[in-house]
Amino acid sequence: MKQFINARLVLPDRVLSEGTLRFNDDKIDALGSKSDLSFNPSIETIDLEGKYLFPGFVEAHVHGGLGADFMDLTPEAFRTVCRCHARHGTTTMTPTSTVGSPEQILEFLKLTRQIMNEPQTGSRVVGAHLYGPYFALEAVGCHPKNVRAPLPSDYIPVLEYTDAIRTATVAPELPSAEVFTRECLQRGIRMNAGHSFATFEQMEEAVRWGIRHVDHLFCAMSDRGKLRALQNFPNRGGVMEATLYFDELTTEVIADGKHLSDALLRLAYKIKGPNRLALVTDSNRAVDMPDGEYLFGPPDAQIRTLKKEGVGLTLDGKNLASSVVGLDHCFRTMLTATQAPLHDVARCVTLTPARILGLEEECGSLIAGKRADFVVMDDAMQVQDVWIGGKKIDAGISRV
């Protein structure tokens, strides 16, 4: 048994000052104020001296870091990315693929399964985010261009790895998207819409199928202006408008301060609220690396990007190509942009993404019985320590 004392406990509905939290092995045992939970001198004690104690951050959309990309397709690449993001406070993550060949996607899932069953040396892997190849070509972004429709010949081998897939993304307008969505949902895979040029009506249909989340709001998606180029009148809504409209849909924003302005972050927060909005990094391999050129996705695809001015760019500098920061940076950015209460913004990196991934009974909040995953932060919201499964990790806390 261990205990934190003199902590500011970040709970879903408030921050509890002078808090105490006890944990036994990998589970939270009890927590409360100093008056509710008296000091026990026989327990190993960590005095936080007024620092904040957050639940571990949950990341649902991440590609790489510290020079590695999950699509490098090696165990060490997976471990490197997990170590990188753990030092930014991420204790739970879904490794996220890119567009790739059928063989590459299957190898990615095989490695996800392997890493899920290894002892943690960084962020805990809870299953893959199958992200590509089922994208619309018009919204492919910086991904390799070999996108395709989810035909049974392509996805049936993928579904042999159902135990290793937490969530999957599809552009709803693609042929067979409905069949693929329903097949995944029957197997317990949570379904997202993303990299899509769907109309509002097509998104409405997707909601009826059971799609409940939309990837990176405002990025790589249709909207009224983009669809206007395909049909002069009447003006039509797209994925963006549908995401904001349907209460059934949760979504996420890349809050790196580069992809979206403060005004767009405020808009997303106001409309969706902290219970339906998650923060993600969507980061590439350049996290915690110097400025320069980096490959995105499978090395053989030779998609070269540039880390410059705190963001990933295409080589010509004209388009965004993933973020290059950790989730702690996104949390600080969102806190500053919205000026919302700290505990509400914290939900966007803890309990809300946990719910989106179906993990809210295991992690995402400081509640007895949940995982002993913690992030210790100072008044400047800089990560001081990270604990995963009741163990303090030694990853070298980042200041990037």
Q: Which residue numbers are catalytic? A: 282
**Distance set, CA 35 to CA 20, 32, 55, 364 (Å):** 9, 8, 22, 25
Single-letter amino acid, residue 343: H
Helix-strand-coil split of the chain, %, nearest 5: 30, 30, 45
Residues 6+ apart with CB under 8 A from 247: 276
Contact 327, 349 (CB under 8 A): yes
Has 216 been labeled as part of a binding site? yes
Beta-carbon count within 10 A of 24 CB: 14
CA 119 – CA 216 distance, rounded (Å)? 30
Amino acid symbol at 316: D
Which residues contact residue 296 at a Cβ distance below 8 angstroms, ignoring those fewer than 6 apart? Answer: 63, 69, 98, 142, 143, 284, 285, 303, 304, 305, 312, 321, 322
DSSP structure string for 352-369: HHHHHTT-TTTSSS--TT
Binding site annotation covers 143? no
Report the sign of the C-alpha dihedral through residues 72, 78, 84, 90, in that order. Answer: positive
- Helix H or strand E encompassing 113: helix 102-116
What token pair was written down for 114? 């392997």
- Determine the Cα–Cα distance for residues 141 and 146; give it in Å rounded to an integer: 12
47 class by beta-carbon count within 10 Å (0-12 exposed, 13-18 middle, 19+ buried) = exposed
Annotated binding site: 195, 216
